[in-house]
Amino acid sequence: MRYFIGNWKMFGVPKSINILNKINSFHSTDKNRNKYRVIITPPYTLIESYAKYFKNKKISIGSQNCYQKEQFSSNTAAVSPYMLRSVGAQYTLVGHSDNRGEGDTDSMLKDKVKHALKNNLKVVFCIGENKSEKKNKKTLSILKKQLIKVLEKNFNKNNIIVAYEPIWSIGTGKIPTVSELKKTTIHIKKVLESIFKKNSPAVLYGGSVDGSNVEMFKEIREIDGFLIGGASKSSKKFIDIIKNYYR
Ligand code: 13P
């Protein structure tokens, strides 16, 4: 199974559902439709209405983040996994570099993963090195650390997806080379196998993925899909990624 996950970040109002309707129609009739899943993470404000609308359709709805407590608390503006699940979210991102940059620590991320899983949300756990870490050849050690500090053997790996998003690649048009990315993805899967003592969960790539560079990634069979930012805000761009991947 491959995954095409669209992360809308701070984008979208109720009528933006038109974008998803087009993606859903494409997916429903695509000859490759059984080979992949489409998941969209709109902002919190749209999760309930979109999840309701797409309930028996192809697209699944997820959240971009969740708070590191399970149900209710006195933290202003916080939204818990329980609350997300109650309005129909099926997935949540955890550890996006935007949120790590705003102060999410490994121990907060561990609590987020734990509570999300407990509330039947599937977790898309994001990791990635920054530009200077890459320059100093620290990529593999940084990724390993990000994984082992948060994921535990007793977490259900069937409900976890890992997304590798190099920070220097997000929104910049810069992407890793095929050989670099293959090596990094294999490394991530090895670390995950050692954490879970079984097969690795799915590992996605994210960072400036678009319809013109996705063909390059399909050579890397270890990559189980993509986490797509900018290009997920346009139905045409998002559909082009899927079309070109299977071409
Ligand atoms: P871009 O596809 O815009 O580079 O964003 C990637 C991302 O951060 C998805 O979570």
Q: Residue 38 sits in a domain of what CATH number? A: 3.20.20.70
The whole-number pLDDT of residue 93 equals 98
pLDDT tens, position by position, 184-208 = 999 999 999 999 998 999 999 999 9
Whole-model pTM?
0.98
User: What pLDDT is recorded for position 242?
Assistant: 98
- Burial zone of 30 (CB within 10 Å; 0-12 exposed, 13-18 middle, 19+ buried): middle
Pocket test for ligand 1, best of 5, 99, 165, 232 (most atoms within 8 A of CB): 165
| H runs (alpha helix) in 10-149 | 17-29, 44-53, 81-86, 97-101, 106-118, 131-135, 139-148
Active-site entry in 27, 115, 129, 165:
165
Over range 32-44, report the average pLDDT.
98
- 96 carries an active-site annotation: yes
Are 93 and 7 spatial neighbours (Cβ–Cβ below 8 Å)?
yes
- At residue 145, the pLDDT reads 98
3-class DSSP state for residue 127?
strand
8 A C-beta contact, residue 147 and residue 110: no
Write down the mean pLDDT value for the chain: 98
With a Cβ cut-off of 6 Å, ligand 1 is lined by 7, 96, 165, 170-171, 206-209, 227-231
The residues that bridge with 39 in the sheet, in sequence order, are 5, 60
pLDDT at 59: 98
Res 190: pLDDT:
98
Q: Given this model, what pLDDT does residue 14 score?
A: 98
Total structural domains within the chain: 1
190 lies in which domain range?
2-245
Cβ burial, residue 48 (10 Å; 0-12/13-18/19+): middle
Residue-wise pLDDT tens digits, 75-109: 999 999 999 999 999 999 999 999 999 999 999 99
Q: In this predicted structure, what is the pLDDT of residue 197?
A: 95
Query: What's residue 216's pLDDT?
Result: 94
**197 C-alpha vs ligand 1 centroid, how far in Å?**
30
Q: Do 195 and 153 contact (CB within 8 A), yes or no?
A: yes
